[in-house]
Chains A and B, each alone.
Chain A
Amino acid sequence: MNTFRERRETLSIPRLAVIFAAIALLFGVVGAAQAGSAKADRPLPQQPAGLGLPTTIRVVLRSSADGKPVAHTPVVFHTDATFAGVVDEIELGRANTNADGVAMVTFEPHIAGDHEVRVDFEDVGRKVNLGKVTVSVAGNSQLTRSTAGILIPGLNVWLLVALIAAVWSILLCVAFCVIAIARGGDTSQALGRSLGRTPEPAVNSSPSDAGGSS
């Protein structure tokens, strides 16, 4: 409900609703040196977009050899996203270039600010980075909450990792005991050996009859 209200407010203020989807695209031609590789041309004009409104990101792929458009080539668009406190790269979408070498995806920014969209294309099974587009949305608001839950100091993933490490360390102690049995010695000796201390002489008693198990 809040989301919709916030969106209406955003649209009612023209200044905030206008798109600053800017775009400086991709002209660092990473794969240009490769035979048969392509480069991105300057972007086609962007459609206006604002917070929560779709904006189209277009790239034109041209051959680095002769400058002709490269058709039927998959282009992948990535950006960074935050979800439940985790920041990672997500794939916005992928599109094949058309006969004019144009590939485009629609991006709907939900948070104001600069969104960096990275573009790759696949060249003979190899991913080639074409560069990046920055989509800017003015204002200081967002349509969705990107952080979930509450943050309790000290209660985090590292606590879980520490717990698991502690359990496995205890299991490691058991492994030392098994080593000690195998060496016919005491646990402390096995631990000492593993820590690089001088081995002490074995204190084994003589093997009992029938392997000591009888």
Chain B
Amino acid sequence: MEEVTSRRGRLERTAMAPILKTTWRYWAWVTFLVAIIAWGAYAYSVQLREGLIVTGMRDRISWGLYIVTFVFFIGISHAGTLISAILRTTQAKWRTPVTRMAEFITVVALFCGAMFVLVDLGRPDRALNVVTHGRWQSPIIWDLTSITTYLTASIVYLGLPMVPDLALFRDRLAAQGPRWRVWVYRVGAVGWHGDASQKRSLGTAIFILMIIIIPIAVSVHTVVSWIFAMTLRVPWNSTIFGAFFVAGAIYSGIATLIIIMYILRKVYHLEEYITEKHFVYLGVMLAAFSAIMMYGNISEYVTTGYKLQEGEEFQFRQLFLDEFAGFYWYYFVGGLVLPGLIVLVPWTRSIAGVVVAAVLAAAAMWVERYFIVVAGLRVPLLSYDPSNYAPTWVELSIVAAGFALFALLITVFSKIFPIISVWEVAEGFEPADEFESIAAPLAPQPVGGGQ
């Protein structure tokens, strides 16, 4: 019992350490990110003033880096909530130290992704026309609906399991730090005192959300894929686009989670809680999804390549031999085969190995979105010479700013909120059967709580 109390005390101190101690490195990092964002804001002001002519997008290739990055961010948003929800639903005991990070990646990635849709608009002042003039028959409206639903559910899913931890911070840090932070904890804790009825309500809410959020998350990337698949373009004529995009989203989501987990573990000294086991388990999931992605690629290209309908030959040539060959083969070999091998071969199955695999996979998934969007639009619809697309400094700056914003939000979050779920990790210290936690909504058993 004493050991449990001691471990719990150490856990609380570790969770609160990022909030109580700020080094110059933190401010240097934040300044660096803000500088990139400021440069991106300037580039966007140029785009607003001059119009989309300052980008590389033209009438024939009308989507570029912005939509690529939008799809990428929506993809990595699956890191979180979907992975966290699946692990919760399957009662994976090892999940507890990583779920909070995963859930936060979701919210931040969705926010950043949605921002790129607005950036892609030549007239952002007309963005609300999608709502005021939208039709239910349009995949754009499906996309808007599913993304807003997912964002709402993800914010709640991030906030709910944090309630007991925010109550802990509210009580422990009341006398320290600025008032606004205490106010955030007080509001976020929604009056949590850890009594039995509150635990029942919290258990019920988490139980409902972890179930409902899985189909919502699947719907999001399915609908994003339909934006392409329902457009009359030869390379996008695919019936497996939905499943393919969802698998790709989970794949890139796991990769991003591993990378961020590695950085936060290193920066905030979470080695006791995030161990090699977590990296290897997530690495195995990564390898499994790399196999699914390879299967999807082969299934897609063998069938379309065998028939080789009009337009397909052009697409195959540019993808496998010409303009996009470098991108494609990096994606397939460097981004799918290699990460799988790194994780599966025992000699490379370490924290460093899994992180390298994750970096390769995440980069490859951005590249995949690039050639899906740009190569897809490059296939001529009529007998004209194919167009080319080259991103301009404006696009590159704005995309860099988007990634900097993503990093900044995670950095700031980790300075305000508990980055590991204290009460869930602490539950693991107890000898109790974890099934009690999951089954709590079905039986009058206390769930969660900070006790």
Contact = CB atoms under 8 A, between A and B. Distances in A.
B202 A177 contact: yes
Interface stretch (B56-64, B145-153, B318-326): B145-153
B59 to A, nearest CB: 23
B351 interface: no
Contact of B196 (A170, A190, A205): A205
Interface residues of A, number: 37
Given A171-B153, A211-B167, A211-B171, A157 B136 contact: yes
B214 to A, nearest CB: 12
Given A86-B137, A171-B152, A211 B168 contact: yes
A11 interface: no
Given A174-B208, A212-B449, A213-B164, A207 B193 contact: yes
Nearest to A168: B149
Interface stretch (A58-66, A114-122, A181-189): A181-189
Given A204-B195, A212-B192, A167 B149 contact: yes
A79 B416 CA distance: 57
A182 B171 contact: no
A205 B201 contact: no
A81 interface: no
Contact of B201 (A160, A168, A170, A180): A180
B212 to A, nearest CB: 5
B156 A171 contact: yes
B190 interface: yes
A182 B172 CA distance: 19
Given A86-B135, A180-B197, A184-B191, A174 B451 contact: no
Given A86-B135, A208-B194, A213-B450, 19 more contacts: A85-B137, A167-B216, A171-B152, A174-B160, A180-B197, A181-B202, A184-B198, A187-B200, A190-B201, A203-B197, A205-B195, A208-B451, A210-B168, A210-B172, A211-B171, A212-B192, A212-B193, A213-B451, A214-B171
Interface of B: 12, 135-137, 142, 145, 149, 152-153, 156, 160, 163-165, 167-168, 170-172, 189-198, 200-202, 204-205, 208-209, 212, 216, 422-423, 449-451
